[in-house]
Amino acid sequence: MAKVIQGGLLRSRKGVNLPKTKLRLPSLSEKDLNDLEFIATLNIQWVALSFVRTAKDIKDLRQKLNLLCNGKPPRIIAKIEKPEAVENAAEIIAVSDAIMVARGDLGVEIPQEQVPVVQKKLAGMCIAAAKPVIIATQMMEGMISSMRPTRAEVSDVANSVLDRADALMLSGETSVGSYPIETVETMSRIITDVESYGVYQPRTESAVSSPERRISDSIIMAACDLAQKVNAHALIAMTNTGYSAFKLASHRTGSGIFIFSNNRQLISALNLVWGVQAIYFEKFKSTDDAMLEMRKVLVARGFINSGNHIIYVSSIPIGKPGKTNMLKLSVV
């Protein structure tokens, strides 16, 4: 039995929200499982799971992706759009590779006035955990049918930048909207202008590290602190797993972050991460030689110039994953 408060046309294949209702449906439907088999053939870098409720939903998806992708699965984005997900956010963030604050359904599932604060809290939790956070849904909704956004939409985009999100996502504006190119151009201008005022609020504390990562995390934190003090133009790291890239980005310094790797999948995946420019690189003979070659690449591409301060973080000897133990400050 349902009571209609405001009538309208109900079209087929539309989603249904049940606020204040805990469902026992599995997070992965039969169609999802079939889609995963297709996804496994595409060599993609990220998969997003909708209506996540608990960390188990992410663990189940990761297990299935591991089997389908022969141990080399894409990274997982957990879409936070249910009250249970907000309640279990810490556990979900811990087992996910990135988080999407999906404000459309979230604003129906929880009181809409709570969404801005939830967005800010989730962004802060993700930054502390060195996990990318995406802000999504209805950012420039008015531009579906108009060439200009409303002032409220401009402020919404600006505030999401000030929340230090890794990415802002458009949906209907570019999928069915009349002005997709203008929407992207407008959003880009807003982001660029807000960032020019400085949205860098570096973390002064380090998240709790596991014993095997404590040295690496301390080196990375020291590098970011040093970058702030000397106004470094670039933070440079080599990585095959991406760990250093995610950690460096989480400190939200004003320095450019340049990641060199021979892992093409990782380079593509890092497009999502705050402030990171990933570059394919194979010359990993020794740490000293690699640092010299990386500097040459950045100079040749115009990323750094003579007189710039640059900071390297790496491992000695080279090529030991998760063993960052070296920090070097240099002047170009």
Query: Residue 135 is part of a domain; what is its CATH number?
Result: 3.20.20.60
* Cβ pair 237, 315 in contact under 8 A: no
Q: How far is CA 171 from the centre of its chain?
A: 17
C-alpha dihedral sign at 66, 69, 72, 74: negative
Is residue 223 classed as helix, strand or coil in its secondary structure? helix
Q: Which ranges constitute the DSSP H helices of the chain? A: 30-39, 55-68, 83-87, 89-95, 103-109, 115-128, 151-162, 172-175, 180-196, 214-230, 243-250, 264-269, 287-300
Same domain, 185 and 59: yes
The model's confidence at residue 205, banded by pLDDT at 50, 70 and 90, is low
Same domain, 159 and 302: no
* Residues 215, 192 within the same domain: no
Q: Are residues 134 and 55 part of one domain?
A: yes
pLDDT of residue 76: 98
- Residue 6 within a domain: no
Q: What is the DSSP letter of 319?
A: T
CATH (domain of 286): 3.40.1380.20
* Residue 143 belongs to a domain: yes
Q: What is the pLDDT of residues 16-75, one digit of tens each?
A: 777 767 767 778 888 999 999 999 999 899 999 999 999 999 999 999 999 999 878 999
Kindly state the percentage of the chain with pLDDT values over 90.
Answer: 75
pLDDT class of 135 with cuts at 50, 70, 90: very high
Identity at 329, one-letter amino acid code: L
pLDDT of residue 233: 96
Burial of residue 232 (number of CB atoms within 10 Å: 0-12, 13-18, 19+): buried
Which phi and psi angles does 312 have, rounded to 5°? -105, 140
157 and 228 in a common domain: no
Query: What does the pLDDT read at residue 9?
Result: 85
Asked, for residue 22, whether it belongs to a domain, the answer is: no
Boundary-marking domain end, from 129, 162, 196: 196
DSSP 84-122: HHHHTHHHHHHH-SEEEEEHHHHHHHS-GGGHHHHHHHH
Residue 2 lies in a domain: no
- Report the alpha-carbon distance of residue 210 to residue 188 in Å, rounded: 38
Mean pLDDT of 252-270: 94
Q: What is the pLDDT of residue 14?
A: 73
Q: How confident is the model over 173-203, as pLDDT tens digits?
A: 999 999 999 999 999 999 999 998 876 666 5
Residue 159 and residue 305 in one domain:
no
Specify whether 258 is located in the same domain as 302.
Answer: yes
pLDDT value for 45? 95
178 and 54 belong to one structural domain: yes
Assess whether 62 and 190 both reside in one domain: yes
Burial of 208 (0-12, 13-18, 19+ CB in 10 A): exposed
Average pLDDT over all residues of the chain: 91
Q: Calculate what percentage of the chain has a pLDDT beyond 70.
A: 94
List, for residues 206-249, the tens digit of each pLDDT value: 555 677 788 889 999 999 999 999 999 999 999 888 999 999 99
CB neighbours of 253 closer than 8 A, spacing ≥ 6? Answer: 200, 202, 224, 227, 228, 232, 235, 275
- Tally of domains in the chain: 2
The answer on 158 and 74 residing in a single domain is: yes
Same domain, 82 and 176: yes
Residue 300 — pLDDT band, cuts 50, 70, 90? very high
**Beta partners for residue 313, in sequence order:** 237, 327
Report whether pLDDT(84) > 70: yes
In a domain, 24, yes or no: no
d(CA 172, CA 194): 24
Domain boundary among 163, 196, 229: 196
For residue 47, give the 3-state DSSP assignment. Answer: strand
Are residues 316 and 176 both part of a single domain? Answer: no
Q: What is the pLDDT of residue 213?
A: 80
Domain range enclosing 237: 211-331
